[in-house]
Chain A
C-alpha cells in the first residue's frame, strides 16, 4: 500500500477570497501541501479562521483555487461503478508514472462526477438536511440524484444505510426535526456514505454533539475505515478527538500547514511552537509544577492582513529577526515521516 500513489495529493494549493467590500483580498489558503493515503484518517487542526473549512470546500470543488494542484487517485473498483467517472478518468488522468486525476480546472459537470468519490459531513446537522425530506430520502439522495437506484431498491438501500450508522430502520419515514442532534448527524453521515466513497471529508462533524454520542460516531468512522478502507480528512478544533481518531495530523496556521506527522508522535512531542501552544491550551487539571511555557496570548491574526515572514512570529516565544523576514521552509524527517516549518528546528533550538 505504501508504494502506491496517495489517494489524495495536494500541492501548493492557494485560495483567495475577495472581501465583502471587494477592496481587500483574503488569502485563506497560502500554499497547502498535503497527502492522504488510502485507508488513512488525516486530522486537520488549528484556530478558527486558519482555513480548515476552506480547504475542505476546495477539495470538494466548492470554492475555486487560485493556484495549485489536487490529484485524486481513485481505485479502479470504484471508478468502474460510474461510467461518467470512468470516462473522465480515461480522458484526463495522468501517466503510469504520475497517475491521478487533476481536479483543479475541472468543469462543473466533471466535478459532479468526481464528487461521487468524496462524501462530506459538515458541522450543522440540521442546516445541511432538507427539512421537507424524510430520513430515507435524505440518506439515499446521492443514489437518486445520480440515478443509481429507484423504487424498492432505493428503499432497501435506505434501510441498509440507516442500519450502518446505527439508526433503527423504523425511523425511515421521519423528518429531520423529529431527530436528536446526534441522530441527525448520523443521517448526514449515512448520506455521505451512500455511494461508498473512498474518501470522506468531515468538517467539525462531531463538534456539536454530546461526548456520549460523539464517541459512538467516532467508533462508526473507525469501523468504516477498517472494513471498507475508507480514507478521511477529519477537521476538528478538538485536539483530543483528532489525536484519537486520526493516524496523521496536520496543524494549520493562517492558511498554511506548519506541522504534519503521525498523530502519535506529533501529540507526544510537537515540533512547531504553535503545535506546542495548541496542546498546552487543552484544559487539564492544574498541576503544581506543570509549566506552561508555550501558551500563546491573543488571537490569530486575520489572513486579510497577515504578518510578514513566519505568520506565527508575533505570538511565538522563539521569534527572531529571521522569522520576521522570511517564511521558514519545511524541515522534514523520515521514520517517522514528519515535518514542520520553523527556523528554530534547523538551528537546533527545538530538538527533533
Chain B
C-alpha cells in the first residue's frame, strides 16, 4: 500500500458561469521514503494540490471528486478535526514564504512547543527541551538563545529552518514542501537541501516536493510529475526524465531552464498557461505546442513508458495511430 495515494482528484472553483475545475483527474502515488517532485509553470495547480492533501484548501475551492488516501485511510470527506490529526503529525508542510508562515508575536520556542502540545507529546518541561533539540537538529547555531527570539530577528534562511523544525516536531512520514527554498540565497538553499537529504536519510521521510527549479528537483527527488493547466502530463523517474523528456511541455520547460552547463541562452515557451476558465477539452498544451495535430483536440490517454510507473499524456507517443502525419513520425523516432 502506498503511503499516499491520490486518485482522480478534482478541485473546483464556483464562478458566475458555473463551477470550473482548476485541478482535474490528478492521480499519483507516493510510497514510504519515496520522493516525488511536482513541476510546472505558475498557475498550473501545484500549490492547490498540496493544500488539498493537507486539508488546507482556500474556502472558495473544494474537492469535487476523487480520493486522497493516507496509509489506506480516506481523507476526502474527513472533518477538519480529523484532518488536523494528520496535519502536522504524519503529514507536514513547509511553504515558500518562511517569514509569513510564522506568528510574529510569539517566540520561536513557543511556536514549536505548541505543535508538540497539539500532538499531546510529553509534559511542559519535555516540550521545552524538545523544542531546543529540534532547533539544533535543523542546524541552527545557538539553539537555546534562538528559542527565545522572535521571527523578525531571524533571516529568511533561519526562518525556513525553524519551519522545518516545526514540521519535524510531529515526526511526519510525509513532508510536503511548496517551493521552500525559492526565496533563499543559493548558498543557504544548498545548506537546506543538504539538511533535508540528511534528515530524509535518517528518518526515512517521504517528500512531495513542489518546485520550478529543475536543479533542485534533480538533487532531491527520485521521481518527477509534470503538471500543466490543472492536469499531469508526464511522470518519470528523475534520471530518465532529464535524459529523455517525452512531453513537448516537459521539453519546453527544460529548454527554458537556465543551467550552468549550457552555453547558449535558454529558449522560452511561447504563450502562457491558460486561466482555469479557459480550460478546454483535449490536450491543453496544444496552443503552445509546435507539434500539435488534429488529434490533440481529444484527451490524450496515459501512454506507458519503459520505466515502471512512467507515462506521458501525448499523442506523439501513440505508435498505433497512423493518420497523424509528420509530427507522429518524429514521436516514433524519439521512442
Contacts and interface: CB of A to CB of B under 8 A. Distances in A.
Interface of A: 47-48, 180-182, 210-219, 222, 237-241, 243-245, 267, 277-286, 295-300
B258 A284 contact: no
A297 B193 CA distance: 13
B321 to A, nearest CB: 28
Interface of B: 41-42, 141, 155, 157-158, 185-191, 193, 197, 212-213, 215-216, 218-220, 238, 242, 252-253, 255-260, 262-270, 272
- Interface of chain A, main secondary structure: helix
Contacts of A213: 268, 272
B189 A283 contact: yes
B183 to A, nearest CB: 10
A38 B220 CA distance: 42
B268 A216 contact: yes
A47 B185 contact: yes
A325 to B, nearest CB: 25
A47 B238 CA distance: 29
A244 B258 contact: yes
B198 to A, nearest CB: 12
Pick the 9 closest A-B CB pairs, nearest first.
Answer: A216-B268, A215-B268, A281-B190, A283-B215, A240-B258, A212-B269, A215-B266, A285-B218, A211-B256
A215 B256 contact: yes
B189 A215 contact: no
A280 B258 contact: no
B265 A215 contact: yes
A222 B265 contact: yes
B267 A281 contact: no
Contacts of A48: 185
A218 B260 contact: no
A241 B260 CA distance: 8
The winner among B157, B187, B212, B265 for most chain A CB atoms within 10 A is B187
Nearest to B264: A244
A224 to B, nearest CB: 13
A88 B141 CA distance: 55
B215 to A, nearest CB: 4
Contact of B215 (A215, A279, A280, A282): A282
A267 B259 CA distance: 12
Given A180-B272, A244-B266, A283 B259 contact: no
B258 A296 contact: no
A186 to B, nearest CB: 12
A239 B186 contact: yes
Contacts of B191: 295, 297
B215 A211 contact: no
A211 B265 contact: no
B171 to A, nearest CB: 25
Contacts of B268: 211-217, 219
Contacts of B242: 285
B186 A282 contact: yes
B212 to A, nearest CB: 7
A283 B266 contact: no
Nearest to A210: B41
Contacts of B266: 211, 214-215, 218, 244
Contacts of B272: 180, 182, 212-213
Contacts of A47: 185-188
A22 B255 CA distance: 49
Contacts of B197: 286
Contacts of B220: 283
A272 to B, nearest CB: 14
Given A210-B41, A239-B260, 20 more contacts: A48-B185, A212-B41, A212-B272, A215-B255, A215-B268, A219-B268, A240-B215, A240-B260, A241-B258, A280-B190, A281-B186, A283-B213, A285-B219, A295-B187, A295-B191, A296-B187, A299-B155, A299-B157, A299-B185, A299-B187
Interface centre among A245, A283, A286 (most CB of B within 10 A): A283
Contacts of B262: 240, 244
A210 B257 CA distance: 9
Contacts of A182: 272
A216 B158 CA distance: 34
B286 to A, nearest CB: 16
A78 to B, nearest CB: 26
B189 A281 contact: yes
B28 to A, nearest CB: 22
Given A210-B42, A282-B186, A299-B157, A240 B265 contact: no
Nearest to B187: A281
16 contacts: A48-B185, A211-B41, A212-B256, A215-B258, A215-B265, A215-B266, A243-B258, A279-B260, A282-B190, A283-B213, A284-B215, A284-B218, A284-B219, A295-B187, A296-B187, A300-B187
Contact of B219 (A277, A279, A283, A295): A283
A7 B215 CA distance: 36
Contacts of B193: 283
Contact of B186 (A214, A237, A244): A237
A181 B212 CA distance: 15
A211 B212 contact: yes
A103 to B, nearest CB: 30
